[in-house]
Structure 1
Amino acid sequence: MSYELKNFQEDVLERSRTIPVVVDFWAPWCGPCRTLGPVLEKLAAEQAGRWELVKINSDEHQDLAQQFGVRGIPAVKLIVNGRAVDEFTGALPEYAVRQWLDKALPTEEKKDIAAAEALIEEGQVAEAMGKLEQVLLSEPTNAQAAGLLAPLVVLQDPERAMELAGTAATAEPRFAQAAHAVQTLAHALLRDDFSDLEGEDGVGPYRGAIEAIREGQPGAAIDLLIEVLGKNRYLDDDGARKLGVALFTVLGPGHEVTRSKRRTFDMWLY
């Protein structure tokens, strides 16, 4: 059976949305590649239906090798839902490849998390939330699912978001950073006592910014936070900066408010 690449879009990206695809970057002159190749082919046949193998000659497809950050071969990448989710480099022995597959191949929960990330990128938030809620029903302490869900619910349910952010704090850095932003935003949204700031410059627009976030007007909130930065940068322990950065983080780089207002906001920080 031939495992050589025929069409990258069909054989890898599209196929990985149905079944995990293991991509083996190799070259004919590479001795370790000739050792690892038969091992992967044996396991692909043995575990048919669990994952599929695609071999890519890195000499013939240098663009793909560069795209996947291949610096040495053999390089093996696990692709799920069009994304590389795990990898190893070098000619591992068969037992080690088996261990890697057992660890790296997605469970149903991992599949749902990967699918949810793809849905979020496509703007299908409701569908993503549904998948993440399913994961948390079966694994309530799943830090990745909590980290993805927290930013999606913080504006509507800050108390729930705080709980999720606490769970996500133990996840990998990108989820932990998002969790910190969620906690900052949720704390502001749940706050109803500003008596400690009474009499200070900028309190009015600061409270107005929080109310604008509650009302689903992030653009107006950023405008008010910029006003605070101009009046009293260190109000509420630099609260305007912290809240603005948290809001941009939760909205994400592709949101229209982030694209249109982040540069202006950042200018007021210096």
Structure 2
Amino acid sequence: MSSPYLFDVTTDTFDRYVLENSFHKPVLVDFWADWCAPCKALLPTLTTIADSYAGELLLAKVNCDEEAALSERFGIRSLPTVVLFKDGQPVEGFAGIQPESAIRELLIPHIGAAPEPVAAAPEPADPAAEATTLLDTGAIAEAIALLQQAIAEQSSDALLLLLARALGEHGELDDAEQVLGAISKPEQHKEAISQLKTQWVFKRQAAEYPAAELLTSRLASDPHDSEAAYQLAILGLARQDYENAMGGLLGLMQSDRSYADGAAQKTLMQVFDLLGGANSLTIQYRRRLYQLLY
């Protein structure tokens, strides 16, 4: 079923796309499997319900054959099982086939009734604005679906730039690079393209490093472990936790300025360019860097 509010999640993406999104709007999670005929019968009903809320309810799918860890994590014993997440917690759910009316009644205490449908509802006037809002609230899969549909109807450099950003945040860096290559007038978007590529450099670096928990443990055992400090800062930059990452880089400069031929200072300068000179974090940390240097 095609819907801008429907997306797949895996063990690796569940916390970000379901739990984090559920602090902004409820997320209905459909635990299913390809061999499960009732699952296939239920999905159109769930999609219709999600569409009726016009973006106020998201619908995620978990393929239990491929994501057994999620099934164990939430104690899934039969399929289909549907669970509603809100504010990071499961708040309601049911197993098996349920009529649409019963599912809607179950949702009302948590999200209210769906708005009454209106005839011939117009398409969004500005898909770029809607996609930007989705990205800013962490609904990346929704933004990708919306942008791909909009570009299929009428492409533009602005939409391609947003799609590249969305794909990059989704971890699809090679696809994101290809989308940037399709921009017809890159010189007009030079700064934005440069910022995206810098962010992707951090993501590619981070993919080669140990998990944050291990690096944190190493620093707890040895506060002078410069490699762990630097790699932890890069992991922070990859997930756009700029303030903590910049603080870590500045701390590394204070303790080991020459580490990796001044990598901490060079990386800080990259972050300043990424965020822009007017950004409050750039202003704050540039001042602290200059105080340290001079």
TM-score, with length taken from structure 2: 0.36
TM-score scaled by structure 1?
A: 0.39
Higher-Rg structure is: 1
